[in-house]
Chain A
């Protein structure tokens, strides 16, 4: 008897545990029969107004598509988290990836083929062909919707410029002027006159931006799918020497040298950094996520020298390949509505701008056109009444950007090579006696080894 009672208790316990474990798995469908679509929203830290604007847009979409239930998911593309989410299958149904990742992802079969959907929507021929190429495979199949492109710019703090006796309406136009302004800001305010990102692959990214502006070409495509690393060149050397001199000779880079995209924005928004280079579209994040005062913000083009150009990039809205047909159809509807129609259709553009403007979000941040130039310029006129960013403080950029030569990021092993280049930036900023020639030769060899894998 005793034994059977034990067995009974054990059985009940085992069942309870099994039940609890089974309860850990979640269901995916909504109870009311609508299709639940998980879509990427904002990076962690976005303010409530951003979510209010999203909720408004979500409601508009769901009203037009009552069979789809939009679930916003906090999302930010960073190299480590993306790899983990990709491997773990926890990415949203719709998310965005930068151009640097799109080619490899589609070659690895990690993105859904949306060729038919793009054609069906009727704007396949509207895309800027250079940008569409980023999401097209060798057979001409399309794997995503380019939704936003940017060029890198020189961001500067107008308040610090004024405190240092500099004219915020005449930002520097050469790297020598940048150095001089940085020194003045640093001496007058005690803040970092100039800063650059250095960690989490962003050091390599911005080193690439600054070297390209001096005429560097960091990688050569051999045309047969192989690449040759050319990081070890004079323009990269000049860039590293420039950073070294700002840091060690002028002492105009402050005391923090481990900044990445988030922390440099934070420091800049807090008024601790005079100038830095980053994507032209960062104004939205600076104000929305980092609380920068719009009046303090200034943007101009990156100085270009010796035939250099301006490095650009962008991102694409994509879906994982394993969605069922109904979810894929819903995801395409969302991408078209949320990302694309505001670029193509006046009513959608106005509705989007109005929703953002009502919620106090930035409208009119400078970007590069993903569609053809004519459509882009027309779309700017639609939203003109709602533009609330200080465009006059960005005149240096908006007036100069189309005169600069656009350059795309190098294609072979982009992120791992950016990681290697992080070390170059960190070395010159933290070691006064860093041997730039030796460091460059080593990173060049390591990059080539990666490319040869």
Chain B
């Protein structure tokens, strides 16, 4: 018997017990030649894929390659670029603002992890226990995600008005808490940003957790109940272990997303006050666009490249570390 790529034959073969791969010697496989590729519909496959390939190449892979090249150049995108070796990287690494940006980004990521990671999980578990109106709660939880981010930030900016008449300050006033400076103080600005970011992103995570919770076999809860487990022990010993895979994925996605936080500091504060919310991505933006006369695009792409490499390594290390935990 020879291997075939015909789907009908393949379906028929799937009904038979699988044979170990070693049963088929390599030399007996049909050699793939351009002609077999052509007869197998390769050309039409290619024709179908080509538009997407072109779109990805032009709008995604091309710019990535161009950014890598640009990180070794001095250019204002108008005059011809000059190759400068690793000068851009050296300049970025010696910029005192880089340290501030890294610390601020880590601070944002930490706060987002503390508040933003457990909250959706908690809400999802609570919502999964609700017997009636689950759809309504899901819709309400997801609503902030539907609101365009710029609109949401502008709305929250109004809420954060630091005068005693501001929305939040008025609410705090009802319970006797004095007006807070929110965005107008280095101390309170970052938690304010995280609060809005958590509100904006929680809905998406809740939906994912809800979907994962449905997949938890109910008999596990029944068994736990027979063993006398209460609600918290059921969550700890059944729900969380069953969600482990999803939790790990959500955690790394959140770390990657918060490392690239831009929207909130850009729209709320522009990095202020006094660089208290200057994040890595905002620094990249500043390199590129703060100077109206054509920015330091080389430095901007150099820092982007370093961040991308760091996040890729972090993701790889994370998956290596958690490989066993998430499968066991």
Contacts and interface: CB of A to CB of B under 8 A. Distances in A.
Interface of A: 3, 6-7, 9-11, 13-14, 17-18, 21, 77-80, 82-84, 86-87, 101, 104-105, 108-110, 198-201, 254-258, 415-416, 419, 422-423, 426-427, 429-431, 434, 446
Interface string B288-322: 11111111010000000000000000000000000
Contacts of B273: 198, 257-258, 426-427, 429-431
B235 interface: no
Given A9-B44, A423-B275, A431-B273, 12 more contacts: A10-B43, A10-B44, A14-B50, A21-B55, A83-B288, A86-B77, A87-B297, A101-B293, A198-B273, A415-B291, A423-B272, A430-B185
Q: In this complex, which of A80, A257, A415, A427 has the most chain B Cβ atoms within 10 angstroms of its Cβ? A: A80
A3 B44 contact: yes
Nearest to A423: B274
Nearest to A12: B47
Contacts of A104: 293
B184 to A, nearest CB: 5
6 contacts: A78-B292, A79-B289, A83-B293, A86-B293, A255-B161, A423-B274
A430 B292 contact: no
A426 B183 CA distance: 12
Interface of B: 39, 41, 43-44, 46-48, 50-51, 54-55, 76-79, 96, 161-164, 166, 179, 181, 183-186, 269-270, 272-275, 285-286, 288-295, 297
B47 A82 contact: no
Nearest to B169: A255
Contact of B295 (A83, A258, A427): A83
A426 B51 CA distance: 50
B272 A199 contact: yes
Contacts of B269: 199, 258
Contact of A86 (B164, B270, B272, B294): B294
Residue among A77, A78, A79 with most chain B CB within 10 A? A79
B37 to A, nearest CB: 12
B162 A256 contact: yes
B294 A83 contact: yes
B90 to A, nearest CB: 13
A134 B249 CA distance: 57
A3 B41 contact: yes
Contacts of B163: 254-256
A199 B290 CA distance: 11
B6 to A, nearest CB: 12
A6 B48 CA distance: 9
B78 to A, nearest CB: 6
A307 to B, nearest CB: 30
A292 B31 CA distance: 80
Contacts of A258: 183-184, 269-270, 272-273
A139 to B, nearest CB: 18
Nearest to B97: A446
B43 A7 contact: yes
Nearest to B182: A255
Contacts of B47: 7, 10-11, 13-14
Contacts of A201: 290
A369 to B, nearest CB: 26
A432 to B, nearest CB: 10
Contacts, number: 131
Given A3-B44, A79-B290, A109 B274 contact: no
A256 B78 contact: no
Contacts of B181: 255, 430
Nearest to A445: B96
A257 B269 CA distance: 10
A199 B270 contact: yes
A425 to B, nearest CB: 9
Given A77-B292, A108-B293, A415-B290, A430 B76 contact: no
B290 A80 contact: yes
A83 B285 CA distance: 11
Contacts of B275: 423
B290 A419 contact: yes
A248 B66 CA distance: 49
A106 B326 CA distance: 60
Contact of B274 (A14, A78, A108, A426): A426
B306 to A, nearest CB: 21
Contacts of A430: 181, 184-186, 272-274
A258 B41 CA distance: 62
A84 B289 contact: yes
A140 to B, nearest CB: 22
B161 A7 contact: no
A198 B274 CA distance: 10
B295 to A, nearest CB: 5
A321 to B, nearest CB: 9
A448 to B, nearest CB: 13
Contacts of B48: 10, 13-14
For the complex of A and B, the 10 pairs showing the least CB-CB separation, nearest first, are A10-B47, A6-B44, A255-B162, A17-B51, A87-B77, A430-B273, A80-B289, A79-B292, A426-B273, A255-B163
A218 to B, nearest CB: 18
Nearest to A430: B273
Nearest to B52: A17
Contacts of A80: 285, 289-290, 292
Contacts of A86: 77-78, 292-294
A79 B288 CA distance: 11
A108 B76 contact: yes
B294 A87 contact: yes
Nearest to A109: B79
Interface centre among A18, A21, A78, A430 (most CB of B within 10 A): A430
B115 to A, nearest CB: 23
Nearest to A272: B163
A430 B295 CA distance: 28
A9 B41 CA distance: 12
A203 B294 CA distance: 21
Nearest to A453: B91
Contacts of B289: 79-80, 83-84
Contacts of A3: 39, 41, 43-44
Contacts of A77: 292
Given A11-B47, A255-B161, A258-B184, A87 B76 contact: yes
- Among B41, B78, B186, the one with the most A-chain Cβ atoms within 10 Å of its Cβ is B78
Nearest to B276: A430
A79 B51 contact: no
Contact of A13 (B51, B96, B166, B286): B51
A398 B185 CA distance: 39
Nearest to B270: A199
